[in-house]
Chains A and B, each alone.
Chain A
Amino acid sequence: SQQGEEDPQALSIQEGENATMNCSYKTSINNLQWYRQNSGRGLVHLILIRSNEREKHSGRLRVTLDTSKKSSSLLITASRAADTASYFCATDLNQAGTALIFGKGTTLSVSS
Chain B
Amino acid sequence: GAGVSQSPSNKVTEKGKDVELRCDPISGHTALYWYRQSLGQGLEFLIYFQGNSAPDKSGLPSDRFSAERTGGSVSTLTIQRTQQEDSAVYLCASSPRPGDEKLFFGSGTQLSVL
Residues of A within 8 A of B (CB): 2, 30-31, 33, 35, 40-45, 48, 88, 90, 92, 96-105
Contact = CB atoms under 8 A, between A and B. Distances in A.
A91 B107 CA distance: 21
A44 B108 CA distance: 13
Interface stretch (B11-19, B35-43, B63-71, B79-87): B35-43
Nearest to A102: B43
Q: Is the interface of A mostly helix, strand, loop or mixed?
A: loop
A106 B98 CA distance: 26
A30 B103 contact: no
19 contacts: A40-B39, A40-B89, A41-B91, A42-B108, A43-B43, A44-B105, A45-B102, A48-B102, A88-B42, A90-B103, A97-B53, A97-B56, A98-B56, A99-B48, A99-B56, A99-B59, A100-B103, A102-B43, A104-B42
A105 B38 CA distance: 13
A43 B56 contact: no
A104 B44 CA distance: 9
A106 B91 CA distance: 19
Nearest to A9: B40
Interface residues of B, number: 27
A45 B4 CA distance: 13
A3 to B, nearest CB: 9
B100 A31 contact: yes
Chain B CB count within 10 A is highest, among A33, A40, A48, A92, for A40
Given A43-B91, A99-B48, 8 more contacts: A2-B42, A35-B103, A41-B89, A41-B107, A41-B108, A43-B103, A88-B42, A100-B45
Contacts of A96: 98-99
Chain B CB count within 10 A is highest, among A2, A30, A101, for A101
A22 B56 CA distance: 29
